Amino acid sequence: MKATMLARARAYLDRRRALGYALRVEGELLLDFARFADRSGHRGPPTKRLALKWATLPSSASRLYKARRLEILRTFAKHLAAIEPSTEVPPRHVLGPAHRRNPPHIYTAQQIETLMGRASRLSGVLRPHTFATLVGLIASTGLRISEALKLRAADVDFLHRVLTIRESKFRITRLVPLHRSTAMALKRYHARRLRLWPHSPFFLVSERGMPLSGSTVHHTFRQLAGSITPTSNRATVRIHDLRHTFACRVIEKWERTHRRAAGRIAVLSRYLGHARVTDTYWYLSATPELLAAAARDFKTPRHEDS
């Protein structure tokens, strides 16, 4: 019996995930394509026509989203082509580029203080302390929101002031050193949490001692950030923008030192848990401070009059 498209897609996802790729969104979309192909009566490996038909199905979606759908199928098709030579790989960029950097909001120090202040006034016994700690933790370490929510109490070393981030993106485990003030704030929260939920293995917990859900965090953050005007073209600021802000502020700080930032991007890349240094450049925005630093490098040298 010939393999269905769904069976092909599941086998492909199993192989990629075994290599460390999470493929959460991409996996859901690929399985949706596979079901679409099987329902339509298609037999055999994917074709260009079938891929384009599925990629452009959401007529009201943006061109960028359709291009991203097609890109996912291109990767899948290239993999299948090595096994089933009759597979047709969709042409690249036939729907335009699949990625476009939407500039993030770069928070000021005052805005971060405002967020933490509003969080501390939330209702509940532990909730205000949990959300104030969450905002402060991401702002001071640049953690991904998923990493902060999965953090376990056993992974916070107060003595050596270091976090162990276990098997995050691409299943990378890394150590994240903490500033003394961050470690002290986390220790205060930990003591408060222990009094209420001593047996919960998670570090940041809800009023019921359960780990925080991503949807709850994003909903609450929108309430906290309601009056902050984005500096980007997005409708609202995001909690993920704190990670972008951290990356930019680190570079700005390095640029104020004698050594400056040259040759140190790899350090920041490892700290942020990136698999490639190029991923770190995606996080850097042209803040006034960084533009001023760049301008210093491009000043025309003065020549003595002859």
Count: domains in the chain: 2
Contacts of 76 (CB under 8 A, 6+ apart): 9, 12, 30, 33, 46
Same-domain pairing of 50 and 151: no
Domain of residue 52, residue span: 5-81
Q: How far apart are CA 212 and CA 29, in angstroms?
A: 26
Same-domain pairing of 128 and 69: no
Q: How far apart are CA 149 and CA 271, in angstroms?
A: 18
Share of the chain above pLDDT 90, in %: 69
Is residue 264 a part of any domain in this protein?
Answer: no
Can you tell me the mean pLDDT for 118-146?
Answer: 97
pLDDT of residue 297: 66
Cα-based angle 186, 191, 194 (whole degrees, multiple of 5): 120
How far the first Cα of the chain sits from its last, in Å, is 86
CATH of residue 212's domain is 1.10.443.10
Is residue 181 a part of any domain in this protein?
Answer: yes
- Residues 61-104 have pLDDT tens digits of 888 899 999 999 999 999 999 999 999 999 988 998 887 777 88
pLDDT of residue 1: 46
Cα-based angle 6, 10, 13 (whole degrees, multiple of 5): 140
pLDDT at 300 over 60: no
Same-domain pairing of 123 and 40: no
Is the CB of residue 233 less than 8 Å from the CB of residue 103? yes
Q: How many CB atoms lie within 10 A of CB 32?
A: 15
Same-domain pairing of 217 and 165: yes
Query: What is the residue whose two structure tokens read 């902060």?
Result: 148
Same-domain pairing of 54 and 166: no
Query: What is the residue whose two structure tokens read 């891929």?
Result: 51
pLDDT of residue 305: 46
93, amino acid identity? H
Cα-based angle 32, 279, 23 (whole degrees, multiple of 5): 20
Can you tell me the mean pLDDT for 126-150?
Answer: 97
Q: What is the mean pLDDT of the chain?
A: 90
Is the CB of residue 76 less than 8 Å from the CB of residue 9? yes
- For the annotated catalytic residues, the residue numbers are 144, 169, 240, 243, 274, 283
Is residue 289 a part of any domain in this protein?
Answer: no
Query: What is the residue whose two structure tokens read 């929108």?
Result: 222
pLDDT at 171 over 80: no
Residue 121 tokens read as 């006034």
Can you tell me the mean pLDDT for 188-206?
Answer: 96
Cα distances from 182 to residues 132, 174, 177, 212, 279, in angstroms, run 12, 18, 10, 20, 26
Q: What is the dihedral of CA 269, 272, 274, 279, to 10 degrees?
A: -70
- Residues 21-54 have pLDDT tens digits of 888 899 999 999 999 999 999 999 999 999 999 9
pLDDT of residue 215: 93
pLDDT of residue 291: 67
Same-domain pairing of 125 and 225: yes
Can you tell me the mean pLDDT for 261-265?
Answer: 84
Is the CB of residue 118 less than 8 Å from the CB of residue 227? no
Same-domain pairing of 136 and 187: yes
pLDDT at 4 over 80: yes
pLDDT at 202 over 60: yes
Q: How many CB atoms lie within 10 A of CB 234?
A: 13
Same-domain pairing of 181 and 142: yes
- Residues 144-161 have pLDDT tens digits of 999 999 999 999 999 999
Query: Which has the higher per-residue pLDDT, 194 or 167?
Result: 194
pLDDT of residue 163: 97
Share of the chain above pLDDT 70, in %: 93
Residue 27 tokens read as 């996996």
